[in-house]
Structure 1
């Protein structure tokens, strides 16, 4: 599809590797400068007009990678935008609103983290710009290039030849070539200068020493005991009454109706005897009084 690029590809790869070697050591400044659009001279041919001669067109190529470094095995996306110069690349025929524009391009991917030291990839994109009049500037879709670096380092994405196709949106794959644009002979360095650089890096692990100078032995194994269910405890209470004994161990006297201390039987007369005696004296005094009164009545 893309004419004349096979003959120049070897020379392009060689120059790309040489320039990339300097870009890797430049580091971050090179990454920042690669985000500025760079002019790249192409020779574009109108495929619809077989008699037309290739026209020199100086595109502004804007290839931009991630703003910060990416980690290995992470996906990095490079955006490739093409800006037409003045005079622009005119549409050789009108583009209907139901048609889409497809860009089919090559890029050279090289660098340390890339699975292959240098490889050429075919990438593409499409857009539906709506109705475009014949002779109006050709709409150019934006291309996204996805990278998956495998190690730390720097990768470069270098723009190469591309083709512009137009076809109905309802029949993908049936688009026709309208333009083929190849890097102009001797202008490969311009394409290399427009390359997007992607830095791949990982954070440096840090360790913190929290030792206080004392060593605490760590047991290698901890015995494990299986808890058992305790059996219920049965408690029996017995009350024993002690019988007083003499020095020879014989029972002397069992106290009865004594105080709670057990010594009431040897403490003397019971208090109830005094109460009973007092009561009898009161009754006797009362009976005597009644008898004396009765005699007084009988005399009178």
Structure 2
């Protein structure tokens, strides 16, 4: 009667023992791939040798990034796992500097930020020290929005274009990323700050005739050279109210002469009539 319960217990116990290792293996197989340790492959100009370098990099994002204003991203790096960058056998020229970069994506016209640090004179084979202080990576955004930032290349040389050592990132997809937020540019001048000229007054339909502008036209009459000028070169005038095509009241024969002739004719006629009547009376 007790054999069946005992068999059940043995079977259950065996299953537990078999399944326990499988459950324990799950956490070991899942691990976070995001890292702040950058794997670099460094190439020396004019030499075939390459160096494998690991640098732990921390970036600090600005909190006041604004469009069209230079911003600074903090960069701090330390060597990891004892894989340091060493001065090549050919040495480094005088005035060599370290150039650190950050790669930026997700925002138009913004792809990188650059920082520079002076290096001391070093001998071939020495470890090239990384800056102890935080390096400021400078850049300027032309558009507002949000971008993704991750560590970029490291170069060593006398200028960004004159590089002696170039270190390229090999594990960019596994690197820890940072979010950069760029705000729109503020402080734009208000349109009300510019004085607006007053509009020109529109003439009203009821404007009085006295307020309208007057125009004076002067006409000079010049006689044609073919026509002889009158005595004393008189100037003929057209009186107001006269015909536009006639000479008016000041041209033609004098009216007083006509009246005088008429009076003489009338007086002569009256005298003749009187003489005839007197002759008639005398005959009778």
TM-score (norm 1): 0.39
Q: Could you state the TM-score of these two structures normalised by the residue count of structure 2?
A: 0.41
Give the number of the structure with larger relative contact order, counting CA–CA contacts within 8 Å between residues 6 or more apart.
Answer: 1
